[in-house]
Amino acid sequence: KGDSIYVALSGKIYDVTSRSDMYGADGPYHLFAGRDATRSFAVVNLDAENVGRSDLDDLEEVNFQALREFQEKFDEKYPVVGEFTGGKAPPAKMSRGLGGAAETPLGDHQPSALELVSRKPRVFVSRDFVSHKECDALMSMILKTQEGLKFSTKLRCGLRLHDDQWSPAEVQFLTKIEERIAAVAGCDAHPDEVELVGMLTMPEPEDKRCHLGLHVDTNGERPFRYATAIIYLTDVAEGCGGSTVFPLAEGPGFCPEVEHFEALQAASDLLDKSIDHTDRALVRDQGGPEAKVLAQRLVERGEDGTAGVSVRPQKGSMAIFWTRNDQGEIDPYSWHGGERLLGSKDVQKCTLQKFKEIPAQFRDRGMAEFVCGTRKRAGQ
């Protein structure tokens, strides 16, 4: 009736009109309007092949856990206006935890070895860092944190280890993910760095390749970051964007060009001016006309799809790169940006990021030795 929006879930029909920003024509979940979302929510995936389905027989414990959590939130937030006879109710017995006696516990996956994809900046990729089951569980936890929030094209949320909404099994799972990242970053998680950060990105109507500009990861008033790990929780098909772009990287087959060295000099000059994001010069006018010219030169290099190295999101893979070089200084090669997503609203990119920071005891002295040590251990 009228502009009402309904979604079917586990045999019930919910009126979600109050969240038209999410389920309306322009919302990220518009494809669920008037459809059965049961399987999609269970597998935590927006792929069209799952929409309109309620079959769950081939799914695992983690999927039932995700579905139960979504169902509980729907029961709390949206009125039930009917029954959906075309759907199936979930199994009566569903464990409240992540993992069970008959399956490998989440967090015990053995990641694949690191592959060096660039020496300048230092970038490694693990093609199988987390299992697909772990990806689904992490994405479910990210989506759990966004209930009640409004967003159009990007969601950012912190996954704090000690959060009342997590079960003991979920806390243990996040702890193991932190430990897995620490093993490749050369430093345990510590109180001087921020928690894991989940990111959900949808397509944007932008013309620029790196639509949010380029930056180094000491931006945002975090001057002691030294490395960043990005875990890709979803696949993005080739040609649909979403890559992490390092326009100055010297990867395999690097061929020196005048434009490369001009952009590299611009990157160094911007850091000398304490500018760590191109928007500071181009939008906020920091550094005056000279900085604006330098930032524009760097951005133009980022728009060249053949320059540098790009890491495409592949579900379960992880990229880790060093913001600082062996001398402990911010590496001008490490400027990077996120490539905009292309295609319909059904395309999505979900990542889990960890920004590793130099512990407080090494910040006044020993910073170079600390960073150099982490870089060498990652290469072993």
Beta bridge partners of 336: 215
Q: What is the mean pLDDT of residues 331-353?
A: 87
Q: In the prediction, which pLDDT does 97 show?
A: 43
* Mean pLDDT over the full length of the chain: 86
- The share of the chain scoring above pLDDT 70, in percent, equals 90
pLDDT score of 84: 82
pTM for the predicted model, two decimal places: 0.78
Q: What is the mean pLDDT of residues 278-288?
A: 94
Average pLDDT on 208-227 reads 92
pLDDT band at residue 206 using 50, 70 and 90 as cut-offs: low
Is the distance from CB of 103 to CB of 60 less than 8 angstroms? yes
Please compute the mean of the pLDDT values over residues 75-103 and round it to a whole number: 60
What is the pLDDT at residue 93? Answer: 41
**Which pLDDT score is estimated for 223?**
95
Separation between Cα atoms, residue 310 and residue 199, nearest integer Å: 18
Where do the H-state alpha helices sit in the chain? 20-23, 38-43, 61-77, 132-145, 168-185, 258-272, 278-282, 288-303, 367-378
Tokens of 282: 């181009």
pLDDT score of 102 more than 60: no
Summarize pLDDT for 134-154 with one digit per residue, the tens: 998 898 888 877 665 555 556
- What percent of the chain clears pLDDT 90, i.e. is strictly above it? 49
- Rounded Cα distance, 212 and 337, in Å: 7
In which band, very low, low, confident or very high, does the pLDDT at 94 lie, cut at 50, 70 and 90?
A: very low
CA dihedral 319, 323, 324, 330 (to 10 degrees): 160
226-259: pLDDT as tens digits: 999 999 999 998 888 899 999 999 988 888 889 9
Is the pLDDT assigned to residue 220 strictly greater than 80? yes
Q: What is the pLDDT of residue 86?
A: 64
Question: Which residue would you say has higher pLDDT here, 20 or 202?
Answer: 20
More confident site: 71 or 295: 295
